[in-house]
Structure 1
Amino acid sequence: MQVTNQLGDLHEVPTEQGKGNKYLLPFILVTLLFFLWGMAHNLDSILIPHLKKACQLNNRQSTLIDTAVFFAYFVMAIPAGMIIKKFGYKNSIVTGLLVFALGAFLFVPAANTRAYELFLFALFVIGCGLTILETSANPYAAILGPPESSSKRLNLAASFNGLAAMVAPVVGSLFILSGKNYTPEQMEAMPELERSAYLMSEASSVKLPYIVLGSVLLLVAVIFIFMKLPAMKPEHTEVEVKPGFFSVLKFSHLSWAVVAQFFYVGAQVCVTSFFIRMAEQGAGMDEKTAGYYLGIYGFLFMAGRFIGTFFLKYVKDHVLLSIYCVLSVILCAVAIYGSGIYVIYALGGIGFFMSIMFPTIFALGIVDLKSNTETGSSWLVMSIVGGAILPYGMGTLIDMKHDDIQAGYIIPLICFLIILYFGLFGYKVKTKAT
């Protein structure tokens, strides 16, 4: 028997025990993709303080790392949706993996030349690959099973994105961060040859992790090439008129989801990008210790995903989203006005409560879009550009406040208030495109 799910794609619903197992292996493979792009994003949190040091940047310049990655989402979201429509989910995933791998390998010439512009280009290429992957994998994970459990399934897959949030900072702290920090006065007093050798050593430490990451991506791409995946194609019994790219925003819940996703991604990137600087300045930690605490933050983020997925069995997704937003606002206030280790505890708590927001907003945003799912997904992925814009604003604010990192956390606080509105009101399906 076949039924049409809330995304408008057809599933084969098992009529006998064990029939649905054909979705298990594809779901595992797609879940692996969530882990891999989680590694890329969470290594950025290490790169920001690291390249700030290696390339001698200010706070605003260092956030261009986020801008390079997330601006790629904005540029590639529409082409990614077109790729999916023309070539299908599987070929789109393989394309995303190959582009992602290319960006990772570009870190080698960037490190060899210590050229910040080349680092940014490599990150932009990575962002293009991630856009194709996320535009493909998010809706594909949502439709690999019964429609009524799509939100829980998407949160489960995204939990492994949370696992990467724990693993990546540990990997980055071990292989990228040196623990050597010098004041501007010390750098100025350092002999030129010693200074150049130090900066080149700092830049070169990124090569091994990104070579390994690129190699793994190539291997996974080969697996996907030879793996047979279920084809999920819309087969509607009634003729449905598709709205254009902008007309699909007549779905009011999609429009609000795009806004909420913009501010969510901006908030998440703001929190993680300045975590290490916050730990150094607010709690007096050294660079490596701060990196390991970022790993603990990642563990809490991952735990929040798993625990949130469990709670979604008993609590409506928009209700849980709203509760988590309220708690995140409170914790942001603690991060701004608190002191010492309590600031780090607050950031860890924010990580826990942020954890379900992206997949929950995504799932709520594509409800009842039917054959417009790909277009809606493209809009939701485009909204990830919030991660390019808001951290840059936060870095600018911090520089204006004379390097006061805590003052910058007013930005994510405002973001959570906007997401709260979506969880309370904006998620409701009111207007359907015709």
Structure 2
Amino acid sequence: MNNNRKKLVVPMLIIGTMYAVLGFSIGINAFFIPFVQEAFNISTAMSYLIMTATFSAYVVFGVPSGAIIKKVGYKGGITVAFLLIAAGFFVIGYAAQIVSFLLFLVALFVVGMGQTLLTGAINSYVTILGSPESAASRICMMGIADKLAFAGASLILARFMDLANIRLTDVIIPFYIITGLLIVMGIFAFFSPLPEIKAIGEDETSEDTIVSVYANSKTSIFQFPHLLLGIVAIFFDVGVEIIALGSINDYAAILKLPSPQHYVWYVSAGMVIGYLVGVSFIPRYLSQHKALILSTILGVVITLSIVLFPPAISIYLVGVLGVTNALLWPAIFPLALADLGRFTKTGSSFLVTGIVGGALLPLLFGYVADVASHQLAYLVCLPSYLFIGYFAAWGSKIRTARVAATPEIVTPL
């Protein structure tokens, strides 16, 4: 057991750096929304096209990313992802140089393509790297790196770009430097000692792999109901996560609280706490199913409390949603990928298309906030948690009996 844990250390450290890159590349959006309003002299509504440009790539490039991973493997897919993100960051610098908001959006779409490929590759890799029962715990570890980098993106960019004195020229050199760093990291990823692993039943020619009877009886990815329901669960999961992270500063500003721009740290801190709970309790004390069910129950309770409690209290409850949301993705992803066998890589690419919920649900939240109130808008989260609860209790179990199997590389935590 100890030997197996030692084998996990190097791959997890390498993948952890890739989660950090993913978190940073998504975190720049939160900084850019106020930046581009003044830099390009556009409206607030137009500035949110930044989110649309990034997250729409998950729908457009989700399925093709699976084909890439299937063709070149996880390491090759990660390398291509880094190069795509690097290309997008380079174009961001060039768009600032020629002052083109349209090219800026195109650049963010390219970055989103890289994020799509990287998300599918590293989450699938961590899921099948060790014991299936501890997959959520491993993803929680990676989530800490992701969220710290997400929050750190604004701190790093703020050293180069002053929101109080916005100049497009400040974008050029930092993003050219980041481009070079990402190219180096892509090359490192390709030559890194990451083992090329496969999911249970994925290698149909291997005599050592006990192939899943369930997966072998299928001819199409659309014949896995638990995967299809998992895509919807991911849609709602990312939606509520982005709502909590993206709305709390606005809520603080509406309430005229001091330093409203710092309130997002309550949500980020809550998510890190949630991840630490996942690392400590899954699977030793909680199964992935139970952890997901408890998270959704807490999500329903907190959402209703946000609406019912006085605003001065409810804003801190939005921070508690970070704790609730932390275990959603780590539990949903492995449960939806379970027993896909040779369809695993394709399944992960379909799962990441659900991330578009991060673009659509916040728009619904904003509409309700306009026509009703910011506090009541959090009710948008309620059906999301209810569906994820359904997926946890029943939807993720809609599959037939399977042969017990062990992956080619077994490294349980």
- TM-score bracket relative to the smaller structure: 0.7 to 0.9
Shift of 1:282: 2.5
Change in CA separation of 1:302 and 1:329 when aligned onto 2, cut-off 3 Å: same
1:221 aligns with 2:186: yes
Shift of 1:256: 1.6
**What one-letter code is carried by the residue in structure 1 that aligns with 2:181?**
V
Q: How does 1:115-154 map to 2 (within 5 A)?
A: 115-154=100-139
Q: 1:266 aligns with which of 224, 233, 239?
A: 239
Change in CA separation of 1:430 and 1:19 when aligned onto 2, cut-off 3 Å: closer
Q: Which residue is 1:352 aligned to?
A: 323
Rounded Cα–Cα distance in structure 1 between residues aligned with 2:35 and 2:315: 20
Q: 1:64 aligns with which of 49, 56, 59?
A: 49
SS at match of 2:399: coil
Q: Which residue is 2:286 aligned to?
A: 315
Q: Which residue is 2:203 aligned to?
A: 235
Rounded Cα–Cα distance in structure 1 between residues aligned with 2:360 and 2:15: 29
Q: Which residue is 1:9 aligned to?
A: none
Shift of 1:334: 4.0
Rounded Cα–Cα distance in structure 1 between residues aligned with 2:34 and 2:191: 40
2:140–2:275 Cα contact (<8 Å) kept: yes
Q: How does 1:385-424 map to 2 (within 5 A)?
A: 385-400=356-371, 404-424=373-393
How much is the aligned-residue C-alpha RMSD, in angstroms? 2.8
Shift of 1:412: 2.6
Q: Which residue is 2:410 aligned to?
A: none
Q: 2:24 aligns with which of 36, 39, 49?
A: 39
Change in CA separation of 1:308 and 1:150 when aligned onto 2, cut-off 3 Å: closer
Q: How does 1:185-200 map to 2 (within 5 A)?
A: none
User: Deviation digits for residues 245-271 of structure 1, max 9, x if unmatched?
Assistant: xx3232222122111101111221222
Of all paired residues, the percent bearing the same amino acid is 30
**What one-letter code is carried by the residue in structure 1 that aligns with 2:49?**
L
User: Deviation digits for residues 378-413 of structure 1, max 9, x if unmatched?
Assistant: 111111121222223333444445xx5434333233
Shift of 1:423: 1.9
Q: Which residue is 1:279 aligned to?
A: 252
Q: Which residue is 2:267 aligned to?
A: 297
Rounded Cα–Cα distance in structure 2 between residues aligned with 1:62 and 1:382: 23
Rounded Cα–Cα distance in structure 2 between residues aligned with 1:57 and 1:420: 40
Rounded Cα–Cα distance in structure 1 between residues aligned with 2:38 and 2:370: 16
Question: Taking structure 1 as the reference length, what is the TM-score of the superposition?
Answer: 0.81
Q: 2:224 aligns with which of 248, 251, 254?
A: 251
**What one-letter code is carried by the residue in structure 1 that aligns with 2:389?**
L
Change in CA separation of 1:400 and 1:60 when aligned onto 2, cut-off 3 Å: farther
Counting matched residue pairs gives: 391
Structure 1: runs of 5+ lacking an equivalent: 1-13, 181-197
Rounded Cα–Cα distance in structure 1 between residues aligned with 2:99 and 2:314: 34
1:268–1:412 Cα contact (<8 Å) kept: no
Q: Which residue is 1:381 aligned to?
A: 352
User: Deviation digits for residues 189-217 of structure 1, max 9, x if unmatched?
Assistant: xxxxxxxxx6xx25455556544543332
Q: Which residue is 1:93 aligned to?
A: 78
**What one-letter code is carried by the residue in structure 2 that aligns with 1:267?**
V
Q: Which residue is 1:425 aligned to?
A: 394
Shift of 1:340: 5.0
1:67–1:392 Cα contact (<8 Å) kept: no
Shift of 1:92: 0.8
Shift of 1:175: 4.7
Structure 2: runs of 5+ lacking an equivalent: 403-413
User: Deviation digits for residues 94-144 of structure 1, max 9, x if unmatched?
Assistant: 000010111122222333454332222121111100111111111111222
Shift of 1:79: 1.0
The farther-off stretch of 70-79 and 292-301 is: 292-301
Q: Which residue is 2:407 aligned to?
A: none
**What one-letter code is carried by the residue in structure 2 that aligns with 1:284?**
L
Q: Which residue is 2:332 aligned to?
A: 361
**What one-letter code is carried by the residue in structure 2 that aligns with 1:268?**
E
